[in-house]
């Protein structure tokens, strides 16, 4: 009875963890990667799951072979040791099978790499510049305005905003828009990383790196600089708000006319009215 109860509890935990991952909300004891909201991250999750099952099968096979060898070829079962030194079939198998496994891994790996680095035609461009210890964003296709994005102090957090991840001026993009992201550094090497997007690209001083993403679900997505960039490295988060085209257009108009403060307050009110902030995807 206790065994059945424990098994049922384990299934419940797994189901809750899977649901949490699918919803994009980190939870204690969460299993698996967070659900992706871009084509790249969806492919990353799929490749990860494929490798997980493959590695599990290989580990189980090796374990079975070890147990078989311990039992079948023990001193008790074989009082006289075998003098076998060569087996052509086994030698061919342990050469060919790993090659086939590597080919099976390489094909989806190359496809994923091609997807990441084959840039589609972008709807617009955002430039992100990493500095110690904040990000500066520029929108050259929307009036060329720019703003700094800094960590929100704990006393300034609104309900539902996570400390060390929420910022005072988030990146805002429309849903289903293909965004070209140009990244550079202002002082040392930083790294612009948003797990829900499957994006991790270094911000190197004197160099422009490029990435792209297309968020397919509205919400709020978090990330951070993941390159050790100094004493306040842990206080350099990234917040991206994915909104409707109408909300994005209103944000751009207010941003150009009044600046980040009024624009972000207006956007927050709109998102709260639609329930988007309550259902934010606090992925990290």
> Tell me: the pLDDT tens digits for 81-93?
777 788 889 899 9
Residues 57-101 pLDDT 10s: 999 999 999 999 888 888 887 788 777 788 889 899 999 999 999
Residue 21 three-state SS? helix
Neighbour count for residue 256 (Cβ, 10 Å): 14
Average pLDDT, the chain: 86
User: Are 131 and 150 in contact, with CB atoms under 8 Å apart?
Assistant: no
pLDDT at 24: 38
What pLDDT does 26 receive? 60
What lies within 8 Å, CB to CB, of 213 at 6+ separation is: 38, 40, 178, 179, 181, 194, 197, 198, 199
Q: Which residue is it, tokens 């493959």? A: 54
Strand ranges of the sheet holding 171-174, from the earlier edge strand across to the other edge: 171-174, 237-243, 219-225, 190-194, 199-203
More confident residue, 45 or 19: 45
What span, in angstroms and rounded, lies between the C-alpha atoms of 223 and 164?
Answer: 10
Question: Model confidence over 119-171: pLDDT tens digits?
Answer: 999 999 999 999 999 999 999 999 889 999 999 998 888 887 888 899 999 99
Higher pLDDT among residues 277 and 131, named by residue? 131
Which secondary structure element, helix H or strand E, spans residue 203, and what is its range? strand 199-203
Q: What is the pLDDT of residues 9-40, one digit of tens each?
A: 443 434 434 433 333 346 677 777 877 899 99
CA 152 to chain centroid: 22
* Global pTM exceeds 0.85: no
CA atoms 263, 265, 267, 270: torsion sign = negative
> Which one has a higher pLDDT value, 143 or 54?
54
Per-residue confidence (pLDDT) for residue 27, from 0 to 100: 64
User: pLDDT tens across 258-268, in order?
Assistant: 999 999 999 99
Using the predicted structure, report yes or no on whether residue 284 has a pLDDT greater than 90: no
Q: How many Å apart are CA 28 and CA 31, to the nearest integer?
A: 9
277 half-sphere exposure, CB direction, 13 A CA radius: 17
pLDDT (average), residues 210-235: 93
For 124-273, the fitting CATH number among 3.40.50.2000, 2.60.40.420, 3.40.190.10, 3.10.129.10 is 2.60.40.420
- What average pLDDT does range 191-197 have in this prediction? 93
């Amino acid at each position: 009875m206790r065994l059945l109860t424990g098994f049922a509890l384990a299934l419940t935990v797994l189901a809750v963890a899977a649901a949490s991952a699918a919803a994009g909300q980190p939870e204690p004891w969460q299993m698996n990667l967070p659900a992706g909201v871009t084509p790249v991250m969806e492919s990353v999750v799929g490749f990860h799951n494929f490798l997980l099952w493959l590695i599990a099968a290989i580990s189980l096979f090796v374990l079975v072979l070890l147990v078989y060898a311990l039992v079948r070829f023990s001193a008790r079962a074989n009082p006289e040791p075998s003098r076998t030194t060569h087996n052509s079939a086994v030698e061919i198998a342990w050469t060919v099978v790993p090659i086939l496994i590597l080919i099976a891994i390489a094909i989806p790996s190359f496809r994923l790499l091609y997807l990441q680095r084959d840039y589609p035609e972008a709807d617009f461009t955002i430039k992100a510049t990493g500095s110690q210890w904040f990000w500066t964003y520029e929108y050259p296709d929307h009036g060329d305005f720019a703003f700094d994005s800094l960590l929100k102090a704990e006393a300034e957090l609104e309900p539902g905003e996570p400390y060390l991840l929420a910022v005072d001026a988030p990146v805002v993009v429309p849903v289903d828009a293909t965004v070209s992201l140009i990244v550079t550094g202002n002082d040392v090497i930083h790294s612009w990383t948003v797990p829900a997007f499957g994006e991790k690209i270094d911000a190197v001083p004197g160099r422009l790196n490029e990435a792209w993403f297309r968020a397919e679900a509205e919400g709020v997505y978090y990330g951070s600089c993941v390159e050790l960039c100094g004493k306040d490295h842990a206080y350099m988060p990234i917040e991206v708000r994915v909104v409707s085209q109408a909300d994005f257009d209103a944000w751009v108009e207010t941003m150009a006319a009044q600046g980040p403060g009024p624009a972000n307050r207006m956007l927050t009110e709109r998102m709260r009215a639609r329930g988007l902030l309550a259902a934010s995807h606090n992925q990290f």
